[in-house]
Chain A
Amino acid sequence: MRNMWIIAKKEYISFYHSPIAYVIGVVTFLTLGIFFWLQIDFAVQTQQFVPDIRNILDILIFPLFFLAVPVLTMRTISDENRTGTLELIMTAPVRDWELVVGKWLGTYLFILTIIALTWIYPFVLNFMVDPGIDQSLLTANYLGLSLLTAAMTAIGVLLSSLFKNQIAALIASLGVLIILWIISAPAQLMQGIGADLLRHLSITDHYYETFRYGIVDLKDIIFYLSMTVLALFLGTRAVETRRWR
């Protein structure tokens, strides 16, 4: 347990030495900023609607999905493997799960930091609209995003543990995340159990259908948590089997 925190702390701090992490932070922040400005400007010009924070947070999913999670998780374990530092960790008194969970936790906390930075937009918006924004809706949105990110990061770490090459890990996690996003699309044309299953498997539906509308459902929380645990379990297994190869 202690080792997990030590590894997480090292991982978290290492992002502050990484130019890529800054680029991702800035891109995320700017993307949201542009849409924030568009939203306000459009509302002011048309005088037709009240700016909705959800429209801005919807955008946040894109940099998270296509940039932050795959890029920040790609080197977590694959790079240790490539540079040989994995040998160092694996010959220190560290359990395999402590390494995998520690890596995930450090990366997750860093992505959460980026997500936390975006709170500036609802904070500002709160002063611009009357009577302020719905704070419980906002909380549900951020909670949903955090849970979604936890699961995505765990998948990224899992795929990083399978590859020695970080670019391979990047592409693999992008692929898997996209599939888990669009998997529910065929469900629109289907009926019965198959459609339900596909909908249930979609990593984004559990956010878009509930958290986005301020609904906090235990079912969705359990889905994200079990996805996270499963991915981390498989990641640990992948590191373990590395010993036997």
Chain B
Amino acid sequence: MINVSGLTKYYGVNCAVDNLTFNAKKGEILGFLGPNGAGKTTTMRILTGYMPPTSGKASVGGFDVIDQSLEVRKLVGYLPETVPLYQDMRVFDYLKFMAELRHVSDVEEKVDIVLEKVGMVERSESFISKLSKGMRQRVGLAQALIHQPEVLILDEPTIGLDPAQIIEVRKLIQEVGKEKTVLLSTHILSEAQQVCDRVMIINKGHIVAEDTPEHLQTRMVGSRRVTVRVAGETTPAIAVINKIPGILSVKLTDNDAIQFENPTDKDLRPLVAKALIKARFDLLELSSESVNLEDIFLQLTRDEPQELSPSDVNKLLAEEPAGINKNEKEGK
């Protein structure tokens, strides 16, 4: 549904998007993850026909964003980052105006449906200037949904909403995403993790990683770290764990716990437990550290990415935590 290849955008000499390539299928929710200024908004603006790229190609639903801009704009529902609303209009009139511009049939009926969807029915006669930020966000979302677009592009859709509303909006996005293509940008990682079928991490105009949230997580883990605590003297236990076949490395941590590296394909925790108990240690704790998207995100976006190939990304993802610290120091 969305095809982007070699997309590049310069603002003067500043490169906002650098040779970006990705696709989004029908019925897919694609998350665009990255720190502020990563090029998310620019990419979205190019896809919605607001501005042309410096070079590269992008098409939505088979229509080129430059040559068939009007066709693309008909297909796309767009919620920009700063929710654009006419302050002096009533909610209903605003949505009616947007529906008319989109040549929707049965305008008033469609407005009612979309108001119901975003839960703004009781405020339909309010002036937009009197609405709270969360409500405005919902009106903006209603505007993007009014013509039942094939492609929904949302620039940070849950910003400014309270937790209950965030859950509602996420539900709404997931519902829409069943049949339509959704491209959504966020810098809230848990959001991408919950809502998206696929996540693209973008930094400084580059894609640094792209996969399902689950895959990204397992790729990141590479080898899983497990923390072990035993009662009493810890050092002898290290020798016991070291003897277990398959263990990659064992070390003593600062707070007197043992940490070992477990290969991803096999869980060695039961073996470790048995061995320790056999050797008459009192086992207090055996916990696997789960690495979440947050860690991946920080790791990937902290470094200056040079032309990363997928294998580089894998290497980077599998890097030891010590590596992160080292890079952090170098970064400073």
Give A residues with C-beta under 8 Å from B.
2-3, 6-7, 10, 14, 17-18, 83-95, 243-244
Contacts and interface: CB of A to CB of B under 8 A. Distances in A.
A14 B80 CA distance: 23
16 contacts: A6-B100, A14-B86, A14-B89, A83-B84, A85-B84, A87-B45, A88-B84, A90-B50, A91-B80, A92-B102, A93-B71, A93-B101, A93-B103, A243-B50, A243-B52, A244-B52
B88 A14 contact: yes
Main secondary structure of the interface of A (DSSP, over half): helix
Contact of A87 (B70, B76, B80, B98): B80
Contacts of B45: 87
A124 B52 CA distance: 58
Q: Which 9 residue pairs across A and B have the least CB separation, nearest first?
A: A84-B84, A88-B84, A85-B84, A91-B48, A93-B73, A84-B82, A93-B74, A6-B100, A92-B101
B97 A95 contact: no
Contacts of A244: 51-52
Interface string B67-96: 000110110101010111111110000000
A164 to B, nearest CB: 14
Given A3-B101, A92-B101, A85 B70 contact: no
Contacts, number: 63
B interface bracket (residues with beta carbon within 8 Å of A): 20 to 34
Contact of B76 (A7, A86, A91, A243): A91
Nearest to B143: A88
A17 B89 CA distance: 8
Contacts of B87: 83
A119 to B, nearest CB: 28
A91 B52 contact: no
Contact of A92 (B82, B88, B98): B98
Contacts of A84: 80, 82-84
Contacts of A91: 48-50, 73, 76, 78, 80
B21 to A, nearest CB: 23
A3 B74 CA distance: 13
Contacts of B103: 2, 93
A18 B27 CA distance: 44
Given A87-B50, A87-B84, A6 B78 contact: no
